[in-house]
Structure 1
Amino acid sequence: MDQFQHNSAGYLANHMARLFAAGLARRIQPLGLAPAQFMVLLELWHSDGRTQADLTAALDVEQATMANTLKRMERDGLIRRLPSEEDRRARLIHLTDRARALEAEAKTAAGAQNAQALSGLDAAERATFIALMRRVIGNMQRG
Structure 2
Amino acid sequence: MSLRRTESFGYVINYLGRLFARALERRIQRYGLHPGQFPALLALWEREGISQAELCRLVQVEQPTMANTLNRMERDSLIRREPDPQDRRRALVFLTERARALEVEVTAEARGVNAVAIGSLTPEERAELLRLLNKMTGNLEREMGL
TM bracket, shorter-chain basis: over 0.9
SS at structure 1 position matched to 2:89: coil
Gaps of 5+ in 2: none
SS at structure 2 position matched to 1:103: helix
> In the alignment, what sits opposite 1:119?
119
> In the alignment, what sits opposite 2:31?
31
Per the normalisation by structure 2, the TM-score is: 0.94
Letter in 1 for 2:109: A
2:90 is aligned with 1:83: no
State the distance in 1 between where 2:119 and 2:98 align.
Answer: 32
Q: How big is the shift at 1:26? A: 0.4
State the distance in 2 between where 1:61 and 1:141 align.
Answer: 14
State the distance in 2 between where 1:15 and 1:33 align.
Answer: 22
State the distance in 1 between where 2:113 and 2:132 align.
Answer: 19
> In the alignment, what sits opposite 2:59?
59
Identity %: 49
State the distance in 2 between where 1:64 and 1:136 align.
Answer: 27
Deviation string for 1:103-128 (max 9, x for gaps)?
00000000000000000101111111
Gaps of 5+ in 1: none
> In the alignment, what sits opposite 1:9?
9
Q: Which has the higher contact order (CA 8 A, sep 6+)?
A: 1
Letter in 1 for 2:93: I
Q: How big is the shift at 1:82? A: 0.1
Alignment length, in residue pairs?
142
Deviation string for 1:11-31 (max 9, x for gaps)?
101110000000000011111
Letter in 2 for 1:73: M
Per the normalisation by structure 1, the TM-score is: 0.96
Q: How big is the shift at 1:3? A: 6.2
Letter in 2 for 1:130: L
Letter in 1 for 2:85: E
State the distance in 2 between where 1:135 and 1:35 align.
Answer: 25
